Chain A
């Protein structure tokens, strides 16, 4: 399937799912679905760097929070419309990714991983001490009174926007995966030295994929302040974003765009259920245990099982 055809199909699916807002009156469904979609974007974004290129980013929460706090800043400063905030958050997160990548991607991959973790803590402390965006107290971001497209509630709009952004993230991820660029990234993942020797511009490709990945993570965060109308640093920088965005691609499978999608939908839905029925601490424990289970015993994730099953059938 060509990129354009894939984009058309994804957009159609997203619009169809957005149309559901007119059918289901239950608001809780959309609240839960929003979170799952958020994880779809984060997991897909993480996989561009983690799965395709083989570099681990522990700072998903930092880039997510950059997106969220860019929205808060633009809301406080200009009362900017949502679309402007989405674009701004995506750009700022992409720039932060560029900076981090430029500083650390020349070194061994593990240094990038540690630095991304460090970035999350530095930014957290920066936000806690920055009063303009609420500091440690948090900030209120009021949902606009008028809701476009005849949607009954603001959550419906946020859900639909998140759907479109998830579709966008998937299209970008798939386009990267299938392009020459994606093959270059795969070469880096499999053997960076050999790739460099064969003329793959490794540093440039790595920086590009970091930037794309971080920008998409920022995009996922831009709608978040509107979701609860309130945001505070410890929820925006929650470690659960970092863990989930690693666990979901690992569980789904890291080799294609489908893996993170499957992982995020499965794990995201399970977490929503557990959160309601048991407790949020247990739901985090489940994510951690699943992460360790899959990474030790099923390193290729669910898509790995599917591939193995297909191969067996082909024989």
Chain B
């Protein structure tokens, strides 16, 4: 096959734009799994929930899905707090998080998916936005606005999370929890409270990422599962608990998927993230930027 420069450039741009979106989906996992050690495999379920909320409001009132998602993110924050409370009381406190905690989140994932199927059916849903059909062209390279807008907002969100973690008192407390919980307790800080708020933030980012998702592609309840591998792949690939690592991992994955679908066909693209995850776990479990 003759590989033209235009094809290659388009694949790179699409991969980078996609990568930015993946970073938004995975930043929550980097917080919950990477820093708090809470293996929230239900994370994609909250992304899909965010998509559906954006869809309902967009469908009824025509508001922009991303604006909607930022507006309702306090609700996701509260949901995250409640979920962590349950998780802490039932599993973490009793030291049962490894097996039963995992099964718990798996159950939550499954219930959310089935409940959405029961309410909305298995049809694909999509939103109407002003920029949805607009494509900006530079020479032969396409910049579809439905990818560019989520990319820009997610960059703001991911960098915002990073600045929050490194430059505020509370953010540093979260990083401290990731390092040594006992030491935190000795300083008179309650690690459970810190983890509760940090977990709530991670769920809030999932809700916003859900709006990006439905702007980029049509959504149905079962696609959440495909993102489990993706978000964990990004988190592990970049290095656990490092936001910059997550960003890097997301770009690597976005590029890998974009190249796979350009050169081998789109039906193979979902296998890339999982393949990359398996390979990372096998050969470099500490990730690209891991210690």
Contact = CB atoms under 8 A, between A and B. Distances in A.
Interface of A: 50, 54-56, 58, 103-104, 107, 109-111, 113-115, 117-119, 121-122, 125-126, 128-129, 239, 242-243, 246-247, 250, 281-282, 284-285, 287-289, 291-292, 295-297, 299
Contacts of A287: 110
Nearest to A135: B267
Contacts of B111: 285, 288-289, 292
A216 to B, nearest CB: 19
Given A125-B268, A281-B114, A107 B277 contact: no
B228 interface: yes
B62 interface: no
A110 B39 contact: yes
Interface of B: 39, 41, 86, 90, 96, 98-100, 102-104, 106-108, 110-111, 113-115, 117-118, 222, 225-226, 228-229, 232-233, 236, 267-268, 270-271, 274-275, 277-278, 281-282, 285
B99 A54 contact: yes
Contacts of B233: 118
B267 A246 contact: no
A3 B102 CA distance: 33
A109 B98 contact: yes
Nearest to A53: B99
Contacts of A118: 229, 232-233, 274, 277-278
Nearest to B225: A239
Given A117-B41, A288-B110, A246 B277 contact: no
B39 A117 contact: no
Given A54-B98, A285-B114, A119 B278 contact: yes
A122 B278 contact: yes
B281 A107 contact: yes
B277 A114 contact: yes
A111 B115 CA distance: 28
B223 to A, nearest CB: 11
Nearest to A118: B274
Contacts of A288: 107, 110-111, 114
Contacts of A289: 107, 111
Given A128-B267, A129-B267, A281-B117, A296 B277 contact: no
Contacts of B226: 121
A292 B107 contact: yes
Contacts of A296: 86, 90, 104
A50 B277 CA distance: 22
Closest 4 CB pairs of A and B: A118-B274, A292-B107, A288-B111, A291-B107
Contacts of A292: 104, 107-108, 111
A299 to B, nearest CB: 6
Nearest to A299: B100
B261 to A, nearest CB: 12
A295 B274 contact: no
A103 B118 contact: no
Contact of A281 (B90, B118, B274, B277): B118
A121 B271 contact: yes
A104 B278 CA distance: 8
Given A54-B99, A117-B229, A285-B115, A125 B267 contact: yes
A54 B96 CA distance: 10
A296 B87 CA distance: 9
